[in-house]
């Protein structure tokens, strides 16, 4: 197994564990639920990791995911 492939697999597993923890712990408390924009950002970041072989596509998808996450954080802070 290639070293970069191992990094991709490890990052996907870690992101999946974080998503599972957010989904299961967020249902008990309303303030920690995953909002649709944050879920979309998460999907773009995972897609960026999966398409990491082509740098332009991988970094572009990750960039879109980060921008969406920042917009979600900004919207969440304004609503409180």
Over residues 4-16, the pLDDT tens digits come to 778 878 888 887 8
The number of folded domains in the chain is 1
Question: Domain limits at 55?
Answer: 3-79
Say which residue, 20 or 57, is predicted with more confidence.
57
Over residues 45-61, the pLDDT tens digits come to 888 888 878 888 889 99
Over residues 30-41, the pLDDT tens digits come to 566 678 888 899
Q: What is the pLDDT of residue 67?
A: 94
Does 80 have pLDDT greater than 70?
A: no
| Alpha-carbon distances, residue 28 vs 23, 74, 76 (angstroms) | 10, 23, 19
CB 44 within 8 A of CB 61: yes
């Amino acid at each position: 197994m290639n070293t970069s492939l191992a990094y991709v697999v490890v990052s996907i597993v870690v992101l999946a564990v974080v998503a599972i923890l957010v989904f299961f712990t967020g249902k008990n408390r309303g303030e920690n639920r995953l909002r649709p924009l944050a879920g979309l950002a998460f999907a773009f970041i995972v897609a960026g990791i999966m398409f990491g072989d082509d740098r332009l596509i991988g970094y572009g998808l990750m960039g879109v995911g980060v921008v969406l996450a920042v917009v979600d954080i900004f919207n969440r802070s304004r609503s409180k």
